[in-house]
Amino acid sequence: MQQDSQNGKIRPYRKPLNINLGMFVFGIIFVYVLICVAMYFLNDKHIEWYTVQNGSLSQDNVYTGLALREENVVYSSYSGYINYYAREGERMGSGQLVCTVDESGQLKEILSEENADNTAISDSSLMELRAGISNFCSTFQPSDFADVYDFKYELEGTVLQLANVNVLENLSAINAATNGQTVGLCRTDRSGIVVYSVDGYEDKTADSITAADLSQENYQKQQLLTNDLVAASDPLYKLSTSENWSILIAVDRQTAEQLEEEEVVKVRFLKNQYESWANVTILDKGEEGLFAKLDFTNSMITFVTDRFISLELLTDTENGLKVPVSSITNKEFFLVPKDFVAKGGNSGENGVLRQVAGENGELTTEFIATQIYEETEDDYYLDNYTLRVGDHLIKPDSDEEYTVSRSASLVGVYNINKGYADFKEVEILQENEEYAIIRSNTTYGLSVYDHIVLDARTVDVNEMVFE
């Protein structure tokens, strides 16, 4: 309170106005944020951008294919107990003993007694067993548990071969011990790789294969080493007789066209990471689909017991600038002969001389700056934003005229480095559903770290863009 010295009245004290500068600045920022938020929600077009990077496309080139070989199933001519002497996967020459079929069953007992008396195996044979076990343990995947049974039968075959290694030397004594009972000797009639399983695919060819054959759902393989007693006409073993073999895989049309164009493709087998080259043949089976037949001339013995083989196609991967497919669009441009484009104006920009009529009807020319987006041997691609169909252009330093009429489209994206949508032509090298790889270091194209519109449908050419 303040007392008036003249009339003795008391008046309220007026405090001086103190302005808080910090609160004032904060208020301005708060209002600006509110305006930006309101503009964002009131604007129907929300433009997002993407930064161009170097990269490549990751493609799923892993397939499971069906192996086709020259396979001959050998059937028994006798009934009796079978004894094997060759290891599965071993290369056998013509006339070598693979197994015997004993009508009496005494041969198995004699071999068991001899093996019981002589159970020692050589160091080299022991190393062979250890190497096989070690190799299986290093490559085994829990998802492929069925391989355990294949390895079991393979190991049994190895043990049988080592245990019965002296059977040929003692064959005369064994025949005497069986009291004249027939012991059928099953020898190879040709050279090949011996396999102790059959699955019904031995006689199939690439032309007879269907889409159902490539499914493993109903696949069944009969292991022959489990049969102690066989009847006449039962399968004993089979021989794979040629190093030329094939794998069939189901492919889509895009992959089929790529493989057919390359003719030869590099393959990595997932079982052992071994790489090999294959000749490619595309088989079009109509409703059954497209199949790629991969022909090999080596490695057959490695996969001789496998009917279905997982592999990866090592096709050429394009490297370049990686952009989203949604950023790519098409745009129409005028084609103008190069002789009609020159530099002019105060800034030295590219442009054309357009003929216009003055107020008194007199024809004059004006310089129209226009951006070049691409070129051919004879023409430039010029923006149709400033030119119109029917415009008459004058060739510099000449009376020659050209009427704007021809047009063509370019594939490109919208670059927004300068704050507006600037069309840039791109050359697509490879693409999938999400991304495309485009050629880098082109004259009128993109560079790494350029900002482009993520969805080309959200902008128009030369539209101002607020990042």
**50 part of a folded domain:** no
**58 part of a folded domain:** no
- Co-location of 19 and 69 in the same domain: no
Number of domains making up the chain: 3
pLDDT at 244 over 90: yes
- Co-location of 86 and 177 in the same domain: yes
* Among the listed residues 286, 278, 287, 245, the one whose alpha carbon sits nearest the alpha carbon of residue 259: 278
- Co-location of 36 and 126 in the same domain: no
Indicate the helix (H) or strand (E) that contains 24.
Answer: helix 21-42
- Co-location of 136 and 78 in the same domain: yes
Taking the C-alpha atoms of residue 417 and residue 50, their distance in angstroms, rounded to an integer, is: 11
**162 part of a folded domain:** yes
**292 part of a folded domain:** yes
Rg (CA), the chain: 41
> What tens digit of pLDDT does each residue of 295-318 get?
999 989 989 989 999 999 887 667
> What tens digit of pLDDT does each residue of 353-365 get?
998 887 777 888 8
**298 part of a folded domain:** yes
Residue 445 pLDDT class (50, 70, 90 cuts): confident
Residue 115 pLDDT class (50, 70, 90 cuts): low
- Co-location of 336 and 443 in the same domain: yes
Query: What is the average pLDDT across 49-54?
Result: 90
Instruction: Give the model's pLDDT for residue 381.
Output: 93
- Co-location of 124 and 185 in the same domain: yes
**99 part of a folded domain:** yes
Of the three residues 253, 288, 313, the one that is the final residue of a domain is 313
Of the three residues 313, 340, 374, the one that is the final residue of a domain is 313
- Co-location of 109 and 26 in the same domain: no
Instruction: Give the model's pLDDT for residue 74.
Output: 93
pLDDT at 223 over 80: yes
> What tens digit of pLDDT does each residue of 123-156 get?
666 676 676 677 667 666 676 666 676 667 666 6
The amino acid at 351: G
Mean confidence (pLDDT) of the chain: 81
**379 part of a folded domain:** yes
Asked if 275 and 265 count as a contact pair (C-beta separation under 8 A), the reply is: no
- Co-location of 304 and 442 in the same domain: no
**49 part of a folded domain:** no
- Co-location of 257 and 361 in the same domain: no
Distances (CA, A) of 134 to 195, 303, 425: 21, 18, 56
> Which string of b and e fits 346-367 if b means at least 16 CB within 10 Å?
eeeeebbbbeeeeeeeeeeeee
Both tokens of 370, joined, read 């226009």
> What tens digit of pLDDT does each residue of 66-104 get?
999 999 999 998 888 888 888 888 899 999 888 888 877
pLDDT at 108 over 90: no
- Co-location of 337 and 308 in the same domain: no
Indicate the helix (H) or strand (E) that contains 107.
Answer: helix 106-117
Instruction: Give the model's pLDDT for residue 80.
Output: 86
Query: What is the average pLDDT across 50-55?
Result: 89
**Least confident piece of the model among 85-89, 223-227, 291-295, 410-414:** 223-227
Q: Which residue range forms the structural domain that includes residue 17?
A: 2-42
CA angle centred on 305, ends 229 and 139, rounded to 5°: 120
pTM: 0.57
Instruction: Give the model's pLDDT for residue 271.
Output: 84
- Co-location of 285 and 378 in the same domain: no
- Co-location of 366 and 404 in the same domain: yes
pLDDT at 164 over 60: no
Q: In what order do the strands lie in the sheet with 319-324?
A: 53-56, 319-324, 435-438, 428-431
Cβ burial, residue 342 (10 Å; 0-12/13-18/19+): middle
CA angle centred on 199, ends 195 and 205, rounded to 5°: 95
Instruction: Give the model's pLDDT for residue 160.
Output: 60
- Please name the residue that has the structure tokens 């102690």: 228
Cβ burial, residue 236 (10 Å; 0-12/13-18/19+): buried
Cβ burial, residue 27 (10 Å; 0-12/13-18/19+): exposed
Instruction: Give the model's pLDDT for residue 45.
Output: 60
